[in-house]
């Protein structure tokens, strides 16, 4: 079977980083996590970085912290996309806020014109998802948010490795949330990074991410300075446990060191797919703006009979996927049915093809051949 995703690790580099944790006798937050956060800030150019146990955690913390620090009320609105993994929209709901869906454009990301139409007096923020690593029309969304005084949150789950002018593109977002889930461009097992623009937001996130405890007990516990664990703390919040740990951070550090090389390889495979599919009028490729160097987390095509193609590929030993079914199709978000026709269309017609670092030339040749065979029959 040609696999859709397959995480690849530099095993020796991972083991070297992991060995340091095990020899130091430190696997929790505060050792390798500190190193990873420093390296991530350097790599992305973002102001702050807090290593958490998933992108879901980063998103949940983002809306919780922004609501608290900006005095938002229950039922206030966040404009979001339906073409995403549900945890993007769950994060809004979990904070007691309401996702208001705007439609996507041909980048499968939010359409700025439609975002503007959804703004009401209750709108507090926009959640932009850089689907498959594509920054889409982020800059226009940024202008809309600035104009209307809205916060801008980026779900960058697919964007580790995306660059514009050598840096991560969404530098001026209020919060950027990355995923280091096993099928993402920087694969660990499960973890993520929360990057707030405002340091005070990050400080609150660090409290809320460790059961609401108001002291950096873990960082003082760090092995390097051998301080004593602090138990004289207060607990001003009822909160979850969202910390990242040093074992996972060790893997992430090794992965970060080869992220650019790995994304180059992804882009090479996508260039081959693009060249083949651009000659076939029955399929549409997803467009990226000039100057953007996308991470290429997924390779997606828009086809007429998507479900038929998924079945045909499967019968021919090729896994494929869907990123994503419109969240409006799910019971929790059904209140928005009929509001986003392009999202409905993409939900039924977009297919994700195999893309990973161990895919062979023969395998990509076969994927191309079978897709073309089906769509031209
Ligand atoms: C767009 C998007 N947002 C958020 C997430 C959640 O990421 P994590 O698995 O790290 O919690 C995912 C994961 O699939 C995703 O694809």
As averages over each run of 10 residues, the pLDDT of the chain (377 residues) reads 97 98 90 96 97 98 98 98 98 98 97 98 98 98 98 98 94 98 98 98 95 68 51 86 96 98 98 97 94 97 98 98 98 98 98 98 98 97
Same-domain check for residues 276 and 365? yes
| Residue 149 sits in the same domain as residue 283 | no
The tally of CA atoms less than 13 A away on the side-chain side of residue 133 is: 22
Residues 364 and 295 in one domain: yes
Q: Which residues line ligand 1 (CB under 6 A)?
A: 54-56, 84-85, 87-88, 129, 155, 157-158, 179, 181, 192
**Domain C-terminal end among 257, 273, 293:** 257
% of the chain residues with pLDDT over 90:
91
Question: What's the 158 CA to ligand 1 centre distance in angstroms?
Answer: 8
Residue 2 in domain: no
Nearest to 64 by CA among 149, 52, 81, 221: 52
Residues 241 and 313 placed together within one structural domain of the fold: no
pLDDT, tens only, 6-34: 999 999 999 999 999 999 888 988 889 99
The structural domain count of the chain equals: 2
Q: Bridge-partner residues for 192, per DSSP?
A: 52, 179
Q: Ligand 1: distance of its center to the CA of 231 in Å?
A: 34
| Shared-domain flag, residues 82 and 123 | yes
DSSP track, 13-81: HHHHHHHHHHHHT--STTSHHHHHHHHHHHHH--S--EEES-HHHHHHHHHHHHHHHHT--TT-EEEE-
pLDDT of residue 287: 87
245 and 269 in a single domain? The answer is: no
User: What is the Cα–Cα distance from 279 to 258, expressed in whole angstroms?
Assistant: 33
Rounded distance from Cα 298 to ligand 1 centre (Å):
13
Residue 66 lies in a domain: yes
Asked whether residue 87 is assigned to any structural domain, the reply reads yes
Assess whether 276 and 250 both reside in one domain.
no
pLDDT tens-digit series, residues 272-326? 999 999 999 999 999 899 999 999 999 999 999 999 999 999 999 999 999 999 9
- Taking the C-alpha atoms of residue 19 and residue 80, their distance in angstroms, rounded to an integer, is 42
User: Residue 227: its pLDDT value, please?
Assistant: 52
Same domain, 297 and 213: no
pLDDT (tens digit per residue) in 161-186: 999 988 999 999 999 999 999 999 99
* Domain boundary, last residue among 201, 236, 257: 257
| Inside any domain, residue 21 | yes
> Which range of residues forms the domain containing residue 265?
260-375
Q: Examine the domain organization and report whether 315 and 334 are in the same domain.
A: yes
Of 26, 56, 279, 359, give the one whose Cα is nearest residue 180. Answer: 56
| 1 assigned to some structural domain | no
Q: For the full predicted model, state whether its pTM sits above 0.95.
A: yes
Which residue's alpha carbon is at the smallest distance from atom 13 of ligand 1? 85
CA distance 123 to 216: 34
The reply to whether 6 falls in a domain is no
The CA R_g of the chain, rounded to the nearest whole Å, is 21
- Indicate if 247 and 371 belong to the same structural domain: no
Helix (H) or strand (E) holding 323: none
Is residue 150 located within the same domain as residue 25? yes
Q: For position 267, what pLDDT does the model report?
A: 98
57 CA to centre of ligand 1 in angstroms? 10
């Amino acid at each position: 079977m040609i696999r859709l995703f397959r995480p690849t690790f530099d095993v020796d580099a991972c083991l070297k980083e992991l060995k340091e944790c095990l020899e130091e006798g430190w696997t929790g937050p505060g050792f390798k996590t500190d190193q990873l956060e420093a390296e991530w800030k350097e790599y992305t150019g973002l102001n702050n970085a807090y290593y958490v146990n998933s992108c879901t955690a980063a998103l949940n913390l983002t809306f919780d912290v922004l609501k608290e620090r900006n005095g938002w009320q229950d039922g206030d609105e966040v404009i979001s996309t339906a073409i995403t993994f549900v945890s993007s929209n769950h994060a809004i709901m979990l904070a007691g806020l309401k996702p208001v869906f705007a439609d996507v454009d041909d980048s499968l990301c939010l359409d700025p014109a439609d975002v503007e139409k959804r703004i009401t007096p209750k709108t507090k923020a926009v959640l932009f998802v850089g689907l498959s690593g594509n920054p889409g029309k982020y800059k226009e969304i940024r202008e809309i948010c600035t104009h209307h005084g809205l916060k801008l949150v980026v779900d960058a789950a697919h964007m580790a490795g995306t660059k514009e002018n050598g840096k991560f593109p969404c530098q001026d977002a209020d919060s950027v949330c990355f995923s280091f889930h096993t099928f993402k461009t920087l694969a660990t097992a499960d973890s993520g990074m929360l990057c707030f623009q405002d340091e005070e937001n990050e400080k609150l996130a660090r409290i809320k991410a460790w059961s609401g405890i108001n002291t950096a007990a873990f960082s003082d516990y760090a092995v390097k300075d051998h301080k004593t664990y602090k138990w004289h703390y207060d607990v001003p919040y009822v909160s979850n446990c969202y910390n990242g740990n040093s074992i996972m951070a060790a893997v992430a550090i090794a992965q970060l060191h080869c992220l650019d090389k790995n994304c180059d390889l992804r882009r090479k495979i996508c260039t081959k797919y693009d060249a083949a599919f651009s000659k076939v009028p029955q399929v549409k490729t997803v467009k990226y703006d000039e100057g953007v160097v996308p991470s290429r987390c997924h390779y997606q095509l828009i086809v007429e009979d998507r479900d038929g193609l998924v079945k045909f590929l499967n019968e021919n030993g090729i896994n494929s996927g869907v990123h994503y079914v419109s969240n409006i199709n799910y019971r929790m978000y059904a209140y928005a049915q009929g509001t986003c026709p392009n999202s409905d269309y993409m939900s039924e017609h977009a297919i994700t093809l195999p893309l990973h670092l161990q895919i062979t030339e023969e395998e990509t040749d076969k994927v191309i051949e079978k897709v073309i065979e089906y769509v031209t029959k």
